Amino acid sequence: MPLCNMRDLLNEARKGGYAVGSFSVANLECVMGVIAAAEEIRAPIIIQCAETRLKHTPLSMLGPLMVAAAKAASVPVAVHLDHGSTLPCVEEALRLGFTSVMFDGSHLPIEENLASVRKVVEMAKATGACVEAEVGRVGRGEDGSDSPTVAASLEDCFLMDQTGLDALAVGIGNAHGLYAATPELRYDILEQLTGKLNAHLVLHGGTGLTDEQFVKLISLGMRKINIATDIFRAAAMAPHGDDIFSNITSSAAAVKAITQKYIALFGSAGKAE
Ligand code: 13P
């Protein structure tokens, strides 16, 4: 069952009317916590790392760890490159066995974004991996860097869908990191897209949204929901002392607890079989 294609997970989620959590991992403790959470409540999950974070944990080390953990899991796990910004990084992720890659060209003019995504769709064919792209713009970079929040135009969504990609992140007033106040989300954009795209809809910036917002988003077709900040904070803020081994256990347990909260909210508990 273990390492699986993200497309299969999202197809099942579409049929079942739930969303699959895509949890960002930065180290071993995050990987262990997220997978233990999914195994205990029998949920399919996605584990991901963003290119901008690889200066802390290189893909050549973190990537094989993620793939090995997915292969050893007792539930379906897809391994995804989040916010790939360069083709060499996408290429490396594919070579390491990632079953999904995102190319984020949301800062580019739409024609350039489309052209880059078409290239990545071609590259991914060699391994059968999924491809995700972004239109409009999710506010703030995954690493907290400054960038605007831009609502996706319907035209751009339909153009991107024609590239043959599998998953589409849309800017709907969402942003990475902690929100100063609960954001007003543009549900109207999703209402106009529902049932009209081949690609599965992806929500970035999950940390800090309300339970009601998640329920509404899933009812409007959101099938992959990204959570990073809450995972990283749980790992970092777990009780730590001077024994590294207790610290590892403590971080992994904190990550497991927060992951299970999200899995339950997304409706994917019990969907592993
Ligand atoms: P948060 O950090 O807001 O949870 O966003 C995660 C994300 O979208 C990663 O791409």
Q: 231-271 pLDDT, tens per residue?
A: 999 999 999 999 999 999 999 999 999 999 999 999 999 99
**Active-site residue, selected from the candidate residues 8, 82, 166, 230:** 82
* pLDDT score of 273: 83
Is the shortest distance between the CB of 206 and ligand 1 below 6 Å? yes
pLDDT, tens only, 56-77 = 999 999 999 999 999 999 999 9
Instruction: Please give the structure tokens belonging to residue 158.
Output: 């339909």
pTM of the model: 0.98
Is residue 1 scored above 70 in pLDDT?
A: no
Q: Which atom of ligand 1 is nearest to the CA of 50?
A: 10
**146 has catalytic annotation:** no
Q: Which atom of ligand 1 is nearest to the CA of 232?
A: 2
64/144: higher pLDDT: 64
What 3-state DSSP class applies to 28?
helix
Is the shortest distance between the CB of 167 and ligand 1 below 6 Å? no
**Distance of CA 245 to CAs 27, 62, 79, 182, 232, Å?**
14, 19, 26, 37, 18
Is the shortest distance between the CB of 132 and ligand 1 below 6 Å? no
Residue 168 backbone dihedrals phi, psi, to 5 degrees = -130, 120
Is the shortest distance between the CB of 176 and ligand 1 below 6 Å? yes
CA 252 to ligand 1 centroid distance, Å: 19
